[in-house]
Amino acid sequence: MKKLSFTLFVLLLVACSTTKSTLDPSVHGLYGKEAMVVSAHPLASEVGAEILRKGGNAWDAAIAVQFALSVVYPVAGNIGGGGFAVFRDSQGNVGSLDFREKAPINAERDMFLDKEGNVNGRKSLEGHLASGVPGSVDGMVRLFDRFGSLPWTELVQPAIDLAEKGFILTESGAANLNRARELIKKLNTKPVFLVREESWKSGDRFIQNDLANTLDRISKQGRDGFYSGLTAQLIVEEMQRGNGIITLDDLADYQSVWRDPLIGNYRGKRIISMPPPSSGGVALLQLLESIESYPIAKYGHNHWKTIHVMTEIEKRVYADRATYLGDPDFYEVPVTMLLDDQYLTDRMSSIDFKEATPSEEIKEGRVDVIESVETTHFSIVDAQGNAVAVTTTLNSYLGSKIMVDGAGFFLNNEMDDFSVKSGVPNQFGLVGAKANEIVPGKRMLSSMTPTIVDDANGLLIVVGTPGGSTIITSVFQTILNVVDHGMNMQQAVNAKRLHHQWLPDRILTEDSTLSPKVKRKLIRLGHAFESRGSIGRVDAILVLPGGSLEGGADPRAQDTAVGF
């Protein structure tokens, strides 16, 4: 990988450090005339941009970024997890790939319940049993087989170099490695190299030799470098030591699935998003279609009327999510009904500007806690106008906290995204039912919402974010910020966010999101509030009039746009 030029380095700093007020006209993201990559880590973004400079297309860059993130951003970047890709080619043709993890063959519906039928501790979150069969490597292979233009080895090599030669940790990167030291020591069957006597600190070089070897096998053998041979054997041996249930057959049988994306319209824009087993596309289209009849541009950004109607719609949409959504290969998901105009009109007819609707009146349920939200997203547009949005995850921070001994990567804890017990919330506070119960070979429901927006002039927005249950509402707000509130991409990404997911019945807000006057008005209407430091990390691209690109990299972390 070439070293960053001084000019590009300065641009990276600008893209990472925009902190002025949201609507300040001087606030804008990184501009590029030809191509753009926005991801959670500057090195991964530069890897993707370098692939594009070599003449690679958006799918080539997506593959390279995915593997690079598995090295430089191990809290969520991965080869031991899964995700979704939504794409639009330069001619307007669209598609999506589901490389979500699957329940192992030996999984059982009640595998995380004790003899009394209660949820058994944190077994769906921590340790070997929490892992679904990984899909990320198969997903990248499938993208390459259909769209790849550069040699496969060229796309994986930057990640190998980063793992083998190492990279310098930032302060936040070091903190991420230190964060789960004790839990990693407790849960793993063998010592894990990143847990050492002294804490990691900014300026340390982070080298991952085992991961470099695993990536080298993937580079030379493609899919077989992960799902069979040595890597597969190491995964199964790890499972056997920790009483996990993933087998060689599980790995050999895993297949990503091409799916037709969901397509809707909002104020003359075409919205292209992920279908089930992601709940993101259905929920996003429900939100947009339901709010379209309200003049929120006239109300104003974060006006009490805007917040009230957004929140009331979100309550109803998340209640539908809990009841109806799951893996369409195992459960008949009523997508047509959920997106029907009359259904949504009836569903939202009880919204009243005089008072908030209590969530228990929408549907029964109870939620006590929402935990960490570790996923990652990247958006790419190439010089030909092809666009790819990819959201990928281990689920929690470092997934199950289990590193495959000898292979150097963490496994996911996606089994918690199933409805472990009907009506009992998962780590994100999301309640599920029969549609999302555990079945062998089934994909667990997700909130990941990679999305592309276009209009009569062509491509307009590529967007997505991590954030667990807040992913859907973060993408929703980002689109509203551009389409209704006239923000540029960086302003839309910087804007303070809020979230309601039906249960618990409160509005989650970032610090200083609302003025005291607006908050008092909403409290009088019956809304309750809870503050959180940050919500989501949106990485997005906006096509400007004339065809140039603006990358919006989220300033809440070290997310970075690289364009040329």
322 or 53, greater pLDDT: 53
**188 and 90 share a domain?**
yes
CA distances from 180 to 95, 175, 200, 423, 502 (A): 37, 9, 12, 29, 30
**254 and 284 share a domain?**
no
**Is residue 477 one of the residues assigned to a domain?**
yes
The alpha-helical segments, DSSP class H, found in 485-558 are 489-494, 516-524
Give me the number of domains the chain comprises.
2
Predicted local distance difference test score (pLDDT) of residue 362: 85
Torsion angle of C-alpha atoms 417, 422, 427, 429, degrees rounded to 10: 120
Predicted local distance difference test score (pLDDT) of residue 14: 38
Token pair of 461 as six digits? 């927005």
Beta-bridged to residue 446, according to DSSP, are 278
Torsion angle of C-alpha atoms 387, 555, 301, 28, degrees rounded to 10: -70
pLDDT tops 80 at residue 232: yes
Predicted local distance difference test score (pLDDT) of residue 15: 41
pLDDT digits (tens, 9 = 90+) for 174-190: 999 999 899 999 999 99
Q: Average pLDDT for residues 223-236, to the nearest whole number? A: 98
Predicted local distance difference test score (pLDDT) of residue 364: 37
61 near 52, Cβ under 8 Å?
yes
Q: Average pLDDT for residues 436-445, to the nearest whole number? A: 95
What is the largest distance, in Å, between two alpha-carbon atoms of the chain?
64
Task: Categorize the per-residue pLDDT at 21 as very low, low, confident or very high, splitting at 50, 70 and 90.
Answer: very low
Share the mean pLDDT of the chain: 92
Q: Can you tell me the distance from the alpha carbon of 281 to that of 98, in angstroms, rounded to the nearest whole number?
A: 13
Q: Percent of the chain having pLDDT more than 70? A: 92
Predicted TM-score (pTM) of the model is: 0.93
pLDDT digits (tens, 9 = 90+) for 47-96: 999 999 999 999 999 999 999 999 999 999 999 999 999 999 999 999 99
Which of 200-214, 219-233, 366-380 has the weakest average pLDDT?
366-380
**401 and 331 share a domain?**
no
Q: Average pLDDT for residues 379-386, to the nearest whole number? A: 98
**91 and 148 share a domain?**
yes
In single-letter form, the type of residue at position 536 comes to G
Predicted local distance difference test score (pLDDT) of residue 431: 64
Predicted local distance difference test score (pLDDT) of residue 22: 55
Q: Average pLDDT for residues 12-23, to the nearest whole number? A: 43
**335 and 282 share a domain?**
yes
Q: Which domain holds residue 274?
A: 260-371+449-563
> Which CATH number characterizes residue 505's domain?
3.60.20.40
**Is residue 385 one of the residues assigned to a domain?**
yes
Q: Is 375 part of the annotated catalytic residue set?
A: yes
- Residue 277, preceding peptide bond in cis (omega within 30° of 0): yes
**Is residue 171 one of the residues assigned to a domain?**
yes
Q: What DSSP line would sit under 108-170, residue for residue?
A: -TTTTB-TTSSB-TTTTTSSGGGPPBP-HHHHHHHHHHHH--S-HHHHHHHHHHHHHH-EE--
**122 and 264 share a domain?**
no
**Is residue 113 one of the residues assigned to a domain?**
yes
pLDDT digits (tens, 9 = 90+) for 330-357: 999 999 999 999 999 999 999 999 999 9
**Is residue 469 one of the residues assigned to a domain?**
yes
pLDDT tops 60 at residue 405: yes
Token pair of 379 as six digits? 């958006």
Q: Which of 306, 375, 470, 560 is catalytic?
A: 375
Task: Categorize the per-residue pLDDT at 121 as very low, low, confident or very high, splitting at 50, 70 and 90.
Answer: confident
pLDDT digits (tens, 9 = 90+) for 85-102: 999 999 999 999 999 999
Predicted local distance difference test score (pLDDT) of residue 135: 98
pLDDT tops 50 at residue 3: no
Q: Average pLDDT for residues 285-311, to the nearest whole number? A: 98
Domain end among 357, 390, 424: 424
**Is residue 200 one of the residues assigned to a domain?**
yes
Can you say whether the dihedral through the CA atoms of 39, 41, 42, 46 is positive or negative?
Answer: negative
Beta-bridged to residue 88, according to DSSP, are 94, 387
**Is residue 490 one of the residues assigned to a domain?**
yes
**Is residue 25 one of the residues assigned to a domain?**
no
Q: What DSSP line would sit under 230-258, residue for residue?
A: HHHHHHHHHHHHTT----HHHHHH---EE
In terms of DSSP bridges, do strands 269-273 and 451-455 run parallel, antiparallel, or are they unpaired?
antiparallel
**350 and 385 share a domain?**
no
User: For residue 528, which of 540, 520, 516 has the smallest C-alpha distance?
Assistant: 520
494 near 537, Cβ under 8 Å?
no
Predicted local distance difference test score (pLDDT) of residue 73: 97
CA angle 191, 193, 197 (to 5 degrees): 90
**252 and 284 share a domain?**
no
pLDDT digits (tens, 9 = 90+) for 148-174: 999 999 999 999 999 999 999 999 999
pLDDT tops 60 at residue 369: no
Q: How far is CA 382 from the centre of its chain?
A: 21
Predicted local distance difference test score (pLDDT) of residue 428: 63
User: For residue 529, which of 538, 539, 518, 537 has the smallest C-alpha distance?
Assistant: 518
Can you say whether the dihedral through the CA atoms of 277, 280, 285, 287 is positive or negative?
Answer: positive
48 near 562, Cβ under 8 Å?
yes
159 near 68, Cβ under 8 Å?
yes
Predicted local distance difference test score (pLDDT) of residue 25: 72
Predicted local distance difference test score (pLDDT) of residue 435: 87
**382 and 357 share a domain?**
no
Task: Categorize the per-residue pLDDT at 363 as very low, low, confident or very high, splitting at 50, 70 and 90.
Answer: low
**363 and 351 share a domain?**
yes
Q: Can you tell me the distance from the alpha carbon of 405 to that of 235, in angstroms, rounded to the nearest whole number?
A: 8
Predicted local distance difference test score (pLDDT) of residue 420: 86
Predicted local distance difference test score (pLDDT) of residue 402: 98
pLDDT tops 80 at residue 1: no
**338 and 241 share a domain?**
no
pLDDT tops 70 at residue 366: no
Task: Categorize the per-residue pLDDT at 387 as very low, low, confident or very high, splitting at 50, 70 and 90.
Answer: very high
Q: Average pLDDT for residues 228-254, to the nearest whole number? A: 98
User: For residue 316, which of 560, 55, 505 has the smallest C-alpha distance?
Assistant: 505
Burial of 456 (0-12, 13-18, 19+ CB in 10 A): exposed
pLDDT digits (tens, 9 = 90+) for 483-540: 999 999 999 999 999 999 998 899 999 999 999 999 999 999 999 999 998 999 999 9
Q: Average pLDDT for residues 431-458, to the nearest whole number? A: 92
Predicted local distance difference test score (pLDDT) of residue 247: 98
Q: Percent of the chain having pLDDT more than 90? A: 85
Q: Average pLDDT for residues 392-409, to the nearest whole number? A: 96
**510 and 361 share a domain?**
yes
Can you say whether the dihedral through the CA atoms of 211, 214, 219, 220 is positive or negative?
Answer: positive
